[in-house]
């Protein structure tokens, strides 16, 4: 009998994601983290594995052609008694809503920045999503083995751009070819980079320990003492509460490629990153230590065989001890479902999960019952909140090649919207279908799947709109006034909620000023 309780299991779990701009080194860092956790044995296997998996699916040809991963995968590994669930967010510029939603299922994130480039556009976007949910961020300044910017300059940029307090937990010794390693400011250790990667650890008593001179050239020691001393003075001390509230980011320096600084980063996540959080529902807060199992779906992925319309729903366990075969209530439909074949994800494998704990992600195979945002609950009738749709950044009008198929088209678009592939809006006037996405790739997936799975050929043409806002008002008359005055800009989303389509940001601002009682929301809680 397993004596583990949900509270104890949760305390030793860290569920996190890595956010970065393409090329900053997320894939390389992921490999090194998995290597540390013993989850893979040779760096490089993450990509190889991805390729094998891709070959199994037809519609995923898109990924293959573009050499990127559409899927958000989960990697679980253990180190020193802690179970890490690393949720991968696609790192290409063509990212999608899945990227955003994945962040609703994590308790913390690692922000990887390229030491020569600092904060880049996509890092900033993803950071903003983290901020929406107060997700604490650990910063990893990568590629210190190349010509980098001055560490103070990088930290200033993080502090100013993201409005965060910044506290270095390690300090780099040199950079580029002269990068010798780091000084561990938490444990007072020298960590020197070994030729074949990794670090050699030398315990010291502090920055003024004369032993430093034995291991480093004199000018390096002097620079280290000056800089690290200044950093300690200029930066606030590490404060756990402030970090966990999302106000402070601890910073590590390293080189993922040389496998340097990665162990310290993981240690930092193990020591500081929050265990599974208490989650909000429409009725009350659910603590991970509660006995009854609850979870929510944050991503749905079409299964490998498009003919069978199988889906895998990715569910984050929020409380209780999940056992294979258990029955859970599917709150939206009011039906019970027995989960016979839950899947656990490992770097090299997927296997049936006999049990899972708060913070874990399991894959639930289904035939379309489960949608993004759904709650599964062992007993109580609750719905998790905070798994939003995000305002689309690209809008396209759908053109149907064969007008006889318009009914099929509606069904296909709504069903794919439920799965979270794209968002869909039906215009009030004229009834055109508009699809909205945050990344171009979602559009390609949509066109391919509508044709392959529903036999409907479509093309997409520019829509005269730039973005969409869900509109809410306390009283119906206020909302009706907006809708009447703007019929050409109004639409309904897949759930029938009113949406304002804006031609540009000027128009959006103007309408907001004209209708102060209407809330124009860039996110929508899923129904
Ligand atoms: P991703 O797009 O964020 O997943 O980035 P990758 O991990 O694919 O890395 C992008 C490129 O940067 C690759 O050529 C890596 O080999 C290289 N790279 C990653 N980390 C480091 C590092 O620490 N030092 C150096 N010099 N190159 C790195």
The pTM of the full predicted model, rounded to 2 decimals, is 0.84
**Exposure b/e, 78-95, CB count within 10 A at least 16 = b:** ebeebbbbbbbbbbbebb
**Which of residues 323, 357, 377 is at a domain's end?**
377
Gap between the Cα atoms of 15 and 315, Å rounded: 13
Q: Are residues 175 and 232 in the same domain?
A: yes
Within a domain: residue 154?
yes
Taking a C-beta distance cutoff of 8 angstroms, is the pair 179, 255 a contact? yes
* Tally of CB atoms within 10 A around 222: 13
Local structure of residue 105 (DSSP, 8 states):
G
Nearest CA to ligand 1 atom 2: 23
The ligand 1 atom nearest the CA atom of 28: 7
Whether 145 lines ligand 1, by a CB cut-off of 6 Å, is yes
Nearest CA to ligand 1 atom 21: 257
Ligand 1 centre to CA of 23 (Å) is 6
Q: Are residues 493 and 410 in the same domain?
A: yes
Within a domain: residue 332?
yes
Q: Are residues 195 and 54 in the same domain?
A: yes
Local structure of residue 384 (DSSP, 8 states):
B
The ligand 1 atom nearest the CA atom of 29: 7
Ligand 1 centre to CA of 95 (Å) is 18
Q: Are residues 293 and 404 in the same domain?
A: no
Q: Are residues 286 and 360 in the same domain?
A: yes
φ, ψ dihedrals at 363, nearest 5°: -95, 130
Whether 20 lines ligand 1, by a CB cut-off of 6 Å, is yes
Estimate to the nearest angstrom the gap between the alpha carbon of 230 and the chain centroid.
Answer: 34
- Tally of structural domains, the chain: 3
Q: Which domain holds residue 510?
A: 388-525
Within a domain: residue 2?
no
Taking a C-beta distance cutoff of 8 angstroms, is the pair 123, 399 a contact? no
Gap between the Cα atoms of 167 and 75, Å rounded: 28
Helix (H, G, I), strand (E, B) or coil at 490: strand
88 is in an annotated binding site: yes
Helix (H, G, I), strand (E, B) or coil at 18: strand
Within a domain: residue 366?
yes
Gap between the Cα atoms of 295 and 274, Å rounded: 18
Ligand 1 centre to CA of 129 (Å) is 24
Q: Are residues 434 and 456 in the same domain?
A: yes
Closest by Cα among 501, 233, 307 to 393: 501
Ligand 1 centre to CA of 22 (Å) is 9
Whether 21 lines ligand 1, by a CB cut-off of 6 Å, is no
Q: Are residues 117 and 260 in the same domain?
A: yes
Whether 257 lines ligand 1, by a CB cut-off of 6 Å, is yes
Ligand 1 centre to CA of 142 (Å) is 8
**Which of residues 251, 272, 293 is at a domain's end?**
272
Burial of 42 per CB tally in 10 Å (0-12, 13-18, 19+): exposed
Q: Are residues 485 and 444 in the same domain?
A: yes
Q: Tell me, what's the pLDDT at 2?
A: 59
Q: Are residues 261 and 354 in the same domain?
A: no
Estimate to the nearest angstrom the gap between the alpha carbon of 312 and the chain centroid.
Answer: 18
Within a domain: residue 77?
no
Q: Are residues 246 and 191 in the same domain?
A: yes
Within a domain: residue 90?
no
Q: Tell me, what's the pLDDT at 312?
A: 80
Per-residue pLDDT of the chain (527 residues; tens, 9 = 90+): 457 999 999 999 999 999 999 899 998 999 899 888 876 544 334 444 444 333 333 334 444 443 333 344 788 888 999 999 998 776 555 566 777 888 999 999 999 999 999 999 889 988 988 988 899 999 999 999 999 999 999 999 999 999 999 999 999 999 999 999 999 999 999 999 998 778 899 999 999 999 999 999 999 999 999 999 999 999 999 999 999 999 999 999 999 999 999 999 999 999 999 999 999 999 999 999 999 999 999 988 765 455 556 678 889 999 999 998 999 999 999 999 999 888 776 555 556 678 899 999 988 888 878 888 899 999 999 999 887 777 888 999 999 988 889 899 999 999 888 878 899 999 999 889 999 988 888 898 899 889 988 999 999 999 999 999 999 999 999 999 999 999 999 999 988 899 999 999 899 999 999 999 999 998 887 65
Within a domain: residue 268?
yes
Q: Are residues 183 and 138 in the same domain?
A: yes
Q: Tell me, what's the pLDDT at 526?
A: 61
The ligand 1 atom nearest the CA atom of 260: 23
Q: Tell me, what's the pLDDT at 350?
A: 59
CATH number at residue 264: 3.40.50.300
Within a domain: residue 81?
no
Rounded (10°) angle between helices 440-454 and 406-419: 130
Q: Tell me, what's the pLDDT at 97?
A: 76
**Which of residues 347, 377, 407 is at a domain's end?**
377
Q: Tell me, what's the pLDDT at 58?
A: 33
DSSP code string of 229-245: HHHHHHSPPP-HHHHHT
Q: Are residues 43 and 173 in the same domain?
A: yes
């Amino acid at each position: 009998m397993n004596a583990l309780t949900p509270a104890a299991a949760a305390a030793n779990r860290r569920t996190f994601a890595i956010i970065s701009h393409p090329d900053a080194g997320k894939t390389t860092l992921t490999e090194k983290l998995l290597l540390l956790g013993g989850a893979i044995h040779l760096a490089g296997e993450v990509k190889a594995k991805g390729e094998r998996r891709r070959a199994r699916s037809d519609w995923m040809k898109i990924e293959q052609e573009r050499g990127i991963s559409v899927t958000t995968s989960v990697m679980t590994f253990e180190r020193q008694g802690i179970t890490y669930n690393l949720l991968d967010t696609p790192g290409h510029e063509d990212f999608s809503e899945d990227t955003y939603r994945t962040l609703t299922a994590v308790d913390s994130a690692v922000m990887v920045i390229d030491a020569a480039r600092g904060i880049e556009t996509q890092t900033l976007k993803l950071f903003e999503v983290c901020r929406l949910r107060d997700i604490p961020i650990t910063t990893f300044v990568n590629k210190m083995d190349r010509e980098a910017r001055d560490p103070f300059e990088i930290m200033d940029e993080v502090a100013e751009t993201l409005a965060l307090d910044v506290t270095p937990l390690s300090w780099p010794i040199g950079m580029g070819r002269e990068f010798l390693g780091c000084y561990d400011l938490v444990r007072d250790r020298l960590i020197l980079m070994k030729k074949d990667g990794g670090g050699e650890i030398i315990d010291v008593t502090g920055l003024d320990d004369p032993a430093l001179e034995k291991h480093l050239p004199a000018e390096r020691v002097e620079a280290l003492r000056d800089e690290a001393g200044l950093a300690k003075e200029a930066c606030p001390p590490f404060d756990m509460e402030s970090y966990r509230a999302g106000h402070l980011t601890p910073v590590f320096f390293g080189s993922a490629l040389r496998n340097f600084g990665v162990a310290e980063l993981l240690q930092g996540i193990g020591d500081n990153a929050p265990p599974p959080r208490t989650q909000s529902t429409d009725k009350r807060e659910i603590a991970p230590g509660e006995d009854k199992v609850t979870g929510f779906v944050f991503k749905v992925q079409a299964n490998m065989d498009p003919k069978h319309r199988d889906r895998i729903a990715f569910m984050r366990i929020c409380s209780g001890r999940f056992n294979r075969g258990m029955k859970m209530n599917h709150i939206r439909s009011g039906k019970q479902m027995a989960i016979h074949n839950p899947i656990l994800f490992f770097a090299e494998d997927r296997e049936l999960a006999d049990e899972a704990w708060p913070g874990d992600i399991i894959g639930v195979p289904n035939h379309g019952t489960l949608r993004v945002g759904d709650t599964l609950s062992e007993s109580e009738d609750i719905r998790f909140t905070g798994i939003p749709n995000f305002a689309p950044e690209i809008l396209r009008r759908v053109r149907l090649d064969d007008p006889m198929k318009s009914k099929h088209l509606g069904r296909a678009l709504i069903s794919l919207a439920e799965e979270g592939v794209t968002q869909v809006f039906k215009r009030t006037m004229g009834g055109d279908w508009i699809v909205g996405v945050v990344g171009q790739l979602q559009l390609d997936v949509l066109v391919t799947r509508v044709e392959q799975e529903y036999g409907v050929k479509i093309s997409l043409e520019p829509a005269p709109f730039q973005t969409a806002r869900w509109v809410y008002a306390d009283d119906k008359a206020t909302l009706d006034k907006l809708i009447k005055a703007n019929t050409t800009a109004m639409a309904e989303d897949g759930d029938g909620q009113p949406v304002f389509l804006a031609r540009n940001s000027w128009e959006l601002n103007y309408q907001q000023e004209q209708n102060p009682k209407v809330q124009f929301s860039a996110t929508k809680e899923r129904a």
